[in-house]
């Protein structure tokens, strides 16, 4: 039995849990990153590989993370300790997750802060009546200003802290229930708008007609890395959220729904953005500025454009918030469960630390743009590379190996299949976890460090 030293908060409802976990999964990864890396990797073929990674690798690992957390009933490190004993080397996997979440929070807040600035721009009419070139230039002006970027980053971290202080039910669950449905509706609207635009056909072709010549080894790594990123895997997040679940939750159907929601939102975002890219003659491979440069263009030609743009950037900020709270919660839960810190203190201190550690990432777009400590990459890109390409896949790999090979099979089976009758579920899950997921991650990681391609 798990060590239950203190009464532990649990989600108030299944629905609340789904929205909170989907809220963690759905974030900048879907609306900001997915479209731009799809653009950089040439579209269709990349999307196909990404979908395969999501369902064959991501989904089984998400189930394993929920399982570990629910069984352990503690934070990411403590859950492994509850399963394998304190001091077990598996606790390192939990530690890796805590560290990854912390670094992630530090640079995620920088980009999330940009959406705050765009809310402000849209509200004050700064985006309306401008040409695409002018809108492009606005993005450059924002990220070029160290003061502005840091100001918004600070505000975003403060918002994250404010929610996490409220705890599981009163903070995270309550907010997710409001934010996620509105986000979904608005994306739907943008999608319809994209489909009605003259670039719709080109956008659809770009996303769904695979051209396998464009698939480089780096694209495979991006696709797999992004599958972990977008599902919040390998960062201790789903272990931590799973630890607030009770015993009879049906983990398969919960995970499937969360994964589907995440995928639909990413595809909707792509289908909203690419038609505009093509209609306005922009570059699909424009990089991190893509969403900030295209969405204002869509709205600038619409009635109530400023209002809609305001709503969009508010939602982008909220999607980012419902993800950043999950990163902060991983570290805070660790300090509460393992170190007995009060929630308030833990949240404030970790938030402040993440803000400070994020400053070099904020400066990477302006004053320190030329500072490239390693591999010719600036600080922001290095953090992103470290976390998205290495730490998350590696963390996910270890979870798969642990749950697939080391956890006592019978116990795990009983917990996974639970009261439902799905005889195919356990063998299929186990197979994916034991063979498919580790092979995929290993191939990609070895490739990345140049062992396979030399
Ligand atoms: N899934 C989030 C997104 O897509 C990012 C994230 C990664 C959150 C890992 C928590 C842990 O934006």
What digits encode the pLDDT tens for the residues 105-136?
999 999 999 999 999 999 888 887 788 888 88
Residue nearest to atom 6 of ligand 1 (CA): 232
Nearest CA among 343, 1, 362, 15 for reference residue 157: 362
SS3 374: strand
Domain positions in the chain are: 14-449
Map tokens 């991190």 to a residue.
288
Please give the average per-residue pLDDT across 252-274, as a whole number.
Answer: 93
pLDDT attached to residue 46: 94
Higher pLDDT pick, 363 / 169: 363
pLDDT attached to residue 450: 67
- According to DSSP, residue 214 is labeled G
From 237, 238, 316, 389, give the residue whose CB has the most ligand 1 atoms within 8 Å, as the site to mutate. Answer: 237
Atom number, ligand 1, closest to the C-alpha of residue 237: 11
What is d(CA 441, CA 433) in angstroms, rounded to the nearest whole number?
Answer: 11
Query: Which residues are CB-neighbours of 178 under 8 A, at least 6 positions away?
Result: none
Please give the average per-residue pLDDT across 277-292, as a whole number.
Answer: 83
Q: What phi, psi does 3 have (nearest 5°)? A: -80, 115
Name the H helices within 26-131: 28, 34-40, 44-52, 59-72, 76-84, 91-123
Measured at the alpha carbon of residue 235, what is the angle toward residues 230 and 237, in degrees to the nearest 5?
80
SS3 281: coil
CATH number, domain 14-449: 1.10.4160
Atom number, ligand 1, closest to the C-alpha of residue 323: 8
Is the pLDDT at 197 greater than 90? The verdict is no
Is the CB of residue 163 less than 8 Å from the CB of residue 177?
no
Which residues' Cβ are closer than 6 Å to ligand 1? 24-25, 27-30, 101, 104, 229-230, 232, 235, 237, 323, 326-327
Residue nearest to atom 11 of ligand 1 (CA): 232
Question: 326: CA distance to ligand 1 center in Å?
Answer: 8
Is the pLDDT at 5 greater than 60? The verdict is no
Question: What percent of the chain has pLDDT above 70?
Answer: 95
What is d(CA 322, CA 303) in angstroms, rounded to the nearest whole number?
Answer: 30
Lowest-confidence segment of 59-73, 190-204, 209-223, 291-305 by average pLDDT:
291-305
Q: What phi, psi does 314 have (nearest 5°)? A: -60, -45
What is d(CA 65, CA 258) in angstroms, rounded to the nearest whole number?
Answer: 13
Dihedral sign, CA of 166, 169, 172, 177?
Answer: negative
Question: 395: CA distance to ligand 1 center in Å?
Answer: 14
Averaged pLDDT of the chain:
88
Question: 84: CA distance to ligand 1 center in Å?
Answer: 27
From 107, 323, 331, 390, give the residue whose CB has the most ligand 1 atoms within 8 Å, as the site to mutate. Answer: 323
Is the pLDDT at 325 greater than 50? The verdict is yes
From 29, 30, 236, give the residue whose CB has the most ligand 1 atoms within 8 Å, as the site to mutate. Answer: 29
Atom number, ligand 1, closest to the C-alpha of residue 28: 12
Nearest CA among 234, 227, 225, 232 for reference residue 99: 234
Instruction: Quick: pLDDT tens for 161-176.
Output: 998 888 777 767 777 7
pLDDT attached to residue 128: 79
Question: 327: CA distance to ligand 1 center in Å?
Answer: 8
Is the pLDDT at 395 greater than 90? The verdict is yes
What is d(CA 397, CA 404) in angstroms, rounded to the nearest whole number?
Answer: 10
Residue nearest to atom 7 of ligand 1 (CA): 232
pLDDT category at 61 given cuts 50, 70, 90 is: very high
From 25, 38, 50, 172, give the residue whose CB has the most ligand 1 atoms within 8 Å, as the site to mutate. Answer: 25
| Start-to-end CA span in the chain (Å) | 48
Residue nearest to atom 10 of ligand 1 (CA): 232
pLDDT attached to residue 2: 41
**What is the model's pTM?**
0.91
Map tokens 């999950």 to a residue.
326
């Amino acid at each position: 039995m798990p060590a239950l030293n203190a009464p532990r908060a649990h989600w108030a409802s299944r629905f609340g849990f789904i929205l909170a976990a989907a809220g963690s999964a759905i974030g900048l990864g879907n609306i900001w990153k997915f479209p731009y890396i799809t653009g950089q990797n040439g579209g269709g073929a990349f999307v196909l590989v990404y979908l395969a990674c999501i369902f064959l690798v991501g989904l089984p690992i998400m189930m394993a993370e929920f399982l570990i957390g629910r069984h352990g009933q503690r934070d990411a490190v403590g859950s492994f300790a509850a399963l394998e004993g304190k001091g077990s080397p598996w606790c390192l996997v939990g530690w890796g997750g805590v560290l990854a979440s912390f670094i992630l929070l530090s640079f995620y807040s920088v980009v999330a802060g940009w959406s705050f600035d765009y809310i402000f721009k849209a509200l004050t009419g700064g985006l309306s009546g401008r040409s695409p070139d002018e809108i492009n230039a606005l993005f450059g002006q924002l990220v070029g200003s160290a003061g502005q970027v840091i100001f918004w980053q600070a505000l975003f971290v403060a918002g994250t802290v404010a929610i996490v202080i409220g705890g599981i039910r009163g903070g995270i669950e309550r907010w997710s229930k409001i934010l996620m449905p509105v986000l979904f509706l608005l994306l739907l609207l943008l999608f319809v708008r994209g489909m009605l635009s003259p670039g719709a056909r080109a956008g659809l072709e770009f996303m769904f007609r695979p051209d396998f010549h464009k698939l480089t080894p780096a694209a495979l790594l991006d696709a797999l890395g992004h599958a972990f990123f977008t599902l919040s895997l390998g960062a201790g997040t789903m272990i931590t959220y799973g630890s607030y679940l009770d015993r009879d939750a049906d983990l398969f159907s919960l995970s499937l729904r969360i994964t589907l929601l995440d995928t639909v939102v990413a595809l909707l975002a792509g289908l909203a953005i690419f038609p505009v890219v093509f209609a306005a003659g922009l570059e699909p491979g424009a990089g991190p500025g893509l969403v900030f440069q295209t969405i204002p263009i869509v709205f600038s030609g619409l009635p109530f454009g400023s209002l809609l743009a305001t709503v969009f950037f508010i939602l982008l900020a909220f999607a980012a918030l419902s993800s950043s709270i999950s990163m902060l919660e991983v570290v805070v839960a660790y300090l509460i469960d393992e170190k007995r810190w009060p929630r308030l203190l833990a949240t404030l201190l970790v938030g402040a630390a993440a803000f400070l550690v994020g400053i070099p990432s904020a400066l990477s777009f302006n004053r320190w743009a030329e500072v490239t400590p390693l591999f010719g990459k600036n600080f922001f890109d290095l953090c992103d590379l470290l976390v998205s390409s290495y730490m998350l896949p590696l963390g996910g790999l270890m979870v798969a190996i642990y749950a697939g090979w080391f956890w006592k099979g019978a116990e795990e089976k009983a917990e996974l299949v639970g009261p439902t009758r799905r005889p195919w579920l356990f063998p299929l899950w186990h197979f994916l976890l034991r063979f498919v997921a580790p092979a995929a991650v290993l191939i990609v990681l070895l490739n990345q460090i140049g062992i396979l391609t030399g």
